[in-house]
Each structure stands twice: as C-alpha cells, then as structure tokens.
C-alpha cells in the first residue's frame, strides 16, 4: 500500500506529465473545471435565495449576479494585495542580489593593475569583434 507521501508524489508527477505532454488539453480541462465550479456556485446561490426569500426568478438572478460580482471583485482585491506583497519581496531579493553582484565585480577588479585591466578589456573587445565577423 502506498503512503500518503508517495500518493502525493505520484499525483504531482501525473499532473506535471499532463501539463508537459498535453498543455492545450490540460488548459481546457482546467477551464472546464473552473466553469463547472462557477455554474455549481451560481445554481446553489440561485436556489438558496429563491427558496429562502421567495423571490421571482428575475429578482433572484439579479441578486445572484450582484453577489457573484461582489465575490469576484473581492477576489481581485485579495489578488492585488497578494501580488503587491510578492512584488515587494521580489524587489527586495533582486536589489540585494544586485548589490552582492556589484560588490563582487568591484572587488574582482581591485587587485589588478591598470595595464592588466586594459589588456583584458582589449582582448574581450577583440574577441567579440572576431566573433561578430565570424557570425555575420
């Protein structure tokens, strides 16, 4: 018998294989699942409001429309806040990484004498020019 960890690994592997082998079909499957969940939520809200408040079908549909619109807008609000937090975290990580790389490159040049720096830059420029002539 498989343990829960092994089942989780197998399910993850199956999902990744589906996403790699059949990306269009996987996307269609995910969209069908989203549409079915939306339809189920809409139907459930429609029936509950119709039976609890004893409204007409038109009034019930208007109420359900505004409820679903409110839920959608609240989801967008939460997503915007989450993306803002993620953006802030990425900016912090990237700026820290950039500072480390800048410090490393500055420290790499310090021990070299001026003539060695010039020779290296000339060699890189000449090599790049030769490579460009070879390619073009």
- Residues 91-131 have pLDDT tens digits of 999 999 999 999 988 888 788 888 888 998 999 999 999 99
Contact 55, 63 (CB under 8 A): yes
pLDDT value at position 36? 96
Between 135 and 83, whose confidence is greater?
Answer: 83
From residue 133, how far is each of 24, 119, 120, 121, 124 by CA, in Å? 42, 21, 20, 18, 14
Give SS3 for 110. coil
pLDDT value at position 84? 93
Residue percentage of the chain with pLDDT more than 90: 65
**Residue range 7-36: mean pLDDT, rounded:** 87
pTM of the model: 0.55
Contact 49, 60 (CB under 8 A): yes
pLDDT value at position 113? 85
C-alpha 85/C-alpha 101 separation (Å) is: 24
User: Rounded to the nearest 5°, which phi and psi values hold at 25?
Assistant: -65, -35
């Amino acid at each position: 018998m498989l343990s829960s960890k092994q089942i989780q690994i197998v399910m993850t592997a199956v999902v990744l294989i589906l996403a790699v082998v059949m990306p269009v079909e996987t996307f269609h499957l995910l969209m069908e699942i989203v549409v079915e969940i939306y339809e189920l939520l809409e139907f459930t809200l429609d029936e509950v409001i119709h039976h609890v408040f004893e409204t007409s079908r038109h009034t019930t549909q208007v109420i359900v429309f505004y409820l679903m619109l409110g839920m959608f807008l609240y989801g967008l609000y939460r997503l915007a806040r989450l993306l803002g937090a993620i953006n802030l975290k990425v900016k912090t990580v990237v700026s820290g990484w950039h500072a480390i790389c800048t410090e490393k490159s500055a420290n790499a040049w310090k021990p070299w004498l001026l003539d060695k720096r010039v020779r290296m830059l000339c060699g890189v420029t000449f090599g790049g020019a030769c490579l460009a002539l070879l390619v073009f």
